[in-house]
Amino acid sequence: MQSLDNIKQEILDTLKNSPLDFEATHAQLVHKWVLILKPDADESLQIAALSHDIDRAITGITEKDLKDYTKIDEFKQEHAKRSAKFISEILEKHKYPKTVIQKVKLLVEGHEVGGNEEINILRDADSVAYFEYNIPSYMKRNGYERTKEKIRWMFVRMSPEAKVMIKDLDYSDPEIKSIIDEL
């Protein structure tokens, strides 16, 4: 079995292959927010935080491939399943205990919608990291209207505590700030 540091490095190296140039930074921010929301987060939750979007680095599939945004929920569920499968395979390769693999898989599969306390923490950490860092890049790739849809979608799924957290972030882009202020 490998250490968390070794698995973290393998995940970050894999994320460098993503078509989204911010993927590794986003993963590290999600990890940071998980530790803020749950300072005693176990290894499984930390691995899930780092690897929750790993499928994009392996398959190259991004939201840019989604033509009909009304299908975002289905798209995101498939994304979560693929990411769970890929990180499970990596952990199996490194002979992690089945209990850890199963927990990471459960966490990653649920990271878009939530579920139990830890899945909700992962979902909120993912959301806050998106608001903290990803929005400008998303807007550049997808345009203003699609970004408004994405921000609303992300906001709706968040816990009340996370919604307060994103309101306190500093948004330097006035267009983005105006979208956030409307929430």
Encode pLDDT of 105-122 as tens digits. Answer: 999 999 988 899 999 999
Encode pLDDT of 72-84 as tens digits. Answer: 889 899 999 999 9
CATH number of 4-182: 1.10.3210.10
Encode pLDDT of 125-141 as tens digits. Answer: 999 999 999 999 999 98
Pairwise pLDDT comparison (98 vs 21), residue with the higher score: 98
What DSSP line would sit under the chain, residue for residue?
A: ---HHHHHHHHHHHHTTSSSTTHHHHHHHHHHHHHHH-TT--HHHHHHHHHTTHHHHHH---GGG-S-GGGHHHHHHHHHHHHHHHHHHHHHHTT--HHHHHHHHHHHHHTTT--SHHHHHHHHHHHHHIIIIIHHHHHHHH-HHHHHHHHHHHHHHS-HHHHHHHHTS---SHHHHHHHHH-
Encode pLDDT of 16-62 as tens digits. Answer: 999 888 889 999 999 999 999 999 999 999 999 999 999 999 999 88
Indicate yes or no: pTM above 0.75. Answer: yes
The domain ranges of the chain are 4-182
- pLDDT tops 70 at residue 1: no
The confidence score (pLDDT) of residue 111 equals: 95
